[in-house]
Amino acid sequence: MAAVTLLATEGLSRHFGGVKAVDGVDFALDRGEIRAIIGPNGAGKTTLVGMICGRIDPSRGRVRFEDRDITGLSAWARVQRGIAYTFQITSVFGGLTCFDNVALAAQRRVHGHRALDREVARLLGRVGLADRAGVVAGVLPYGHQRLLEIALGLALKPKLLILDEPTQGLSDAEIDHFCALIRDVAAEATVLLIEHNMAVVMELAQRITVMDNGRILAEGAPEEIRANPQVQEAYLGS
């Protein structure tokens, strides 16, 4: 079956004064794919994702989602179209329990108290926080707050789930669980992640996009990226 493009950017750029944070990026993401964006600090990764999500306005260029131009849509309108970004859309409410955090996100699509309770319990169990349902989110360790953010993102039933540094603060065992979770999520949603943990990237990503100085330096399968001399020089090391 031929690949279907879910998301595409055309000449997407963002300049901050004289700094070209993202410079004319053409990027395409297929439906059902797990894609990683990597690169050194300041490469433009988060700015690119911010423009895809609608939290940053581009200086020029376009964003298309499901073959529709969404460049002018707000971040919330993009959520309604099916784009969830854990770092922007799914902020944790520190004074609420984990259960209530997820319930707030899920109640937009789940009706009835019993159905909502079941769905929240399912989502918390899915990310490994079933035993933390009654815990106030603000007292969770940072890594568990990131897992809670993922549960909030999944509660939106996204077509595209974007994760920014999702394994930061997780233990090795939690990272193993996260990798299994993302493979499971990929059966129902496309996943785009910014990640510095190269073991996670190489294990999960079907394709990798490498950014440097606001541009795409290379794209390819993990083995192609690992062997690319330009990528080794710019980011991976020899």
Residue 88: per-residue pLDDT: 42
Residue 238: per-residue pLDDT: 46
Residue 185: per-residue pLDDT: 93
Point out the residues of the chain with pLDDT beneath 50: 88-90, 238
Delineate the domains of the chain, giving CATH numbers in brackets.
Answer: 1-88+158-238 (3.40.50.300), 90-155 (no CATH)
Under 8 Å between Cβ of 153 and 161: yes
Residue 123: per-residue pLDDT: 97
pTM for the structure as a whole: 0.91
Count other Cβ atoms within 10 Å, centred on residue 120. Answer: 24
DSSP codes joined into one string, 173-211:
HHHHHHHHHHHHHTTTSEEEEE---HHHHHHH-SEEEEE
